[in-house]
Homo-oligomer: A and B are copies of this chain.
Amino acid sequence: MPAEPYAMPLRVRYVECDMQGRVFNAHYLTWVDMAHTEALAAVVGDYEALVAGGTDVVVAAANLQFRRPAVYGDQLTVLVSFKPPGTTSLQSSFTIAREDTVLAECLMTHVCVDTATYHKQPWPDWIRDRLNSASGWR
């Protein structure tokens, strides 16, 4: 049975809204990054500990669909689901919603890298195992 998606609450900041009165597109990617880091921490532990252990993650690709605008003061939820990890990669899907209204969706591809060289490396076994257990692709 697939795991429940991780949910990160978020309130839209004034500084994130542009002259159109809506959130500027790049900030969705910041939110996705925040939610990914939180969801990953929930599965494999704090980011700082991960890095201290020699493992880091970098973004390889992002695919965003913008459905409806987020506006100032919106209380949003970012839902995160992990796909079963590849040898060195991890795909994840994100839904940014205001209550039942989907505002944006995103697919991300991250790659596991060595902290010293930033060259890609296989996920450590214990991380891959936990990511597998936590995966629940929607």
Asked if A18 contacts B14 (CB within 8 A), the reply is yes
Could you say which residues of chain B place their CB within 8 Å of the CB of A118? 20, 69
Q: Which residues of chain A (56-94) have a CB below 8 Å from chain B?
A: 56, 58-66, 69, 72-73
A1: Cβ under 8 A from any B Cβ: no
CA distance A29 to B62 in the complex (A): 10
Asked if A59 contacts B63 (CB within 8 A), the reply is no
Could you say which residues of chain B place their CB within 8 Å of the CB of A46? 73
CA distance A46 to B30 in the complex (A): 26
CA distance A48 to B19 in the complex (A): 11
Contact with B along A28-45 (1 / 0, CB 8 A): 011001100100000000
Residues of A in contact with B (beta carbons under 8 Å apart)? 13-15, 17-21, 24-27, 29-30, 33-34, 37, 46-48, 56, 58-66, 69, 72-73, 118
